[in-house]
């Protein structure tokens, strides 16, 4: 049995969408461990002064995602709070021998990422009212997208390691994976899928503080290959409800990739690099 809990403050203005995003994010922890969500409980903080219909919309968004995940929403708990917060505690099942860990990367593995990155930057641009409507919509759609199909597709393959990409940014999660597996991850920055216009916004300085913190955290373990600054910002950008990062044997990578694409996943799947024998640094960019 897997038990997880995650909740956060609104990242978008639309309450229904926020409910979907937060629920997708909470459910993602179960998929990242190779599990199937079975039961979910709402966690709600909501101010008395706001229209209760807004809360209704948040809960509707969450309930729709739980339903999409095939799980049952069995209630929850709410408290009065100045700032709205929403999330889920999720119970999932997984066969004990099939739990994905972040420690199993093996040299030669191929790294596959199932969502575009850059949601922190795009959300900052939205906050600054500098984001285009298309970019904002794409980011919201990607955040709200459930990692269910990606988790299901991977079940038929050998997954040496898996993690979901969230607050530590892609590189933060890569560093953890590399450290746990005692390997070096070789990332090809040009192959990573980025959200629409995320590069433009990062160049304009719409970079959340968390991205700089993440970068400081990974810097000692990073051979950055002198890549352009904007890529470092995006690779360290904290993600809300990010995708799954799989480390799979090279022989199975093509199969998993076509399987992922065959399931019509709404997000962009990319092969972002491979696993090397442990080198001086945990991550090498090029």
Partner 1 sequence: MITINAVGDVCPIPVIKTRKAIGELNGSGRIEVLVDNETAVRNVTKMAESSGAVVSSQKLEEGKYRVNITIEAGAEAGSGRITEETECECKTETVVQKHAIVVVSSDKMGEGDDELGHILMKSFLFAVTQLDELPEKMIFYNGGAKLTVEDSPALEDLKSLAEQGVEIMTCGTCLDFYGIKEKLAVGTVTNMYSIVEAVQQAEKVIRP
Least Å from the CB of residue 279 to partner 1 = 29
CB neighbour burial string for 77-115, b if at least 16 within 10 angstroms, e if fewer: eeeeeeebbbbbbbbbebeeeeebbbbbbbeebbbbbbb
Least Å from the CB of residue 207 to partner 1 = 6
Two tokens at 11?
């990242």
State how far the Cα of 125 lies from the Cα of 89, in Å rounded to an integer.
30
Stretch 161-180 residues interacting with partner 1 (CB under 8 A): none
**CB atoms near residue 155 (< 10 Å):** 14
Q: Do residues 241 and 166 make contact, with C-beta atoms less than 8 angstroms apart?
A: yes
| Residue 10 in the binding site for partner 1 (CB under 8 A) | no
Number of residues near partner 1 (by CB under 8 A): 17
| Residue 282 in the binding site for partner 1 (CB under 8 A) | no
Instruction: Please select the residue that binds partner 1; options are 36, 63, 94, 130, rule is CB under 8 A.
Output: 130
**CB atoms near residue 189 (< 10 Å):** 20
Strands 283-285 and 222-223: parallel
Task: Decide whether 92 or 208 has the Cβ nearer to partner 1.
Answer: 208
| Residue 135 in the binding site for partner 1 (CB under 8 A) | no
Stretch 196-215 residues interacting with partner 1 (CB under 8 A): 200, 202-209, 212
Stretch 211-240 residues interacting with partner 1 (CB under 8 A): 212, 229
Residues found near partner 1 in the complex (CB under 8 A): 124-125, 127-130, 200, 202-209, 212, 229
């Amino acid at each position: 049995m897997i038990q997880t809990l995650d909740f956060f403050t609104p990242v978008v203005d639309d309450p229904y969408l926020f409910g979907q995003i937060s629920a997708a994010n909470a459910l993602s922890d179960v998929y990242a461990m190779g599990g199937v969500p079975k039961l979910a409980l709402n966690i709600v903080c909501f101010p008395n002064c706001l229209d209760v219909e807004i809360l209704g919309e948040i809960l509707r968004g969450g309930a729709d995602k739980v339903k999409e995940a095939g799980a049952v929403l069995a209630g929850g708990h709410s408290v009065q709070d100045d700032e709205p917060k929403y999330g889920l505690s999720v119970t999932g099942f997984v066969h004990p021998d099939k739990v994905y860990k972040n420690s199993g990367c093996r040299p030669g593995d191929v790294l596959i990422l199932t969502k575009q990155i850059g949601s922190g930057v795009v959300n900052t641009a939205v906050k600054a009212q500098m984001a285009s409507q298309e970019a904002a919509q794409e980011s919201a759609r990607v955040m709200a997208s459930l990692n269910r199909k990606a988790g299901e597709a991977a079940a038929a393959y050998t997954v040496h390691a898996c993690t979901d990409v969230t607050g530590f940014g892609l590189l933060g999660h890569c560093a953890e994976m590399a450290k746990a597996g005692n390997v070096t991850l070789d990332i090809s920055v040009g192959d990573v899928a980025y959200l629409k216009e995320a590069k433009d916004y990062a160049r304009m300085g719409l970079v959340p503080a968390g991205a700089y913190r993440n970068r400081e955290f990974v810097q000692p373990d990073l051979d950055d290959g002198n890549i352009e600054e904007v890529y470092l910002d995006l690779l360290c950008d904290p993600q809300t409800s990010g995708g799954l990062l799989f480390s799979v044997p090279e022989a199975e990578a093509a199969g998993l990739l076509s399987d992922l694409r065959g399931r019509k996943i709404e997000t962009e799947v990319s092969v972002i690099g491979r696993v090397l024998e442990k080198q001086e640094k945990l991550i090498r960019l090029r």
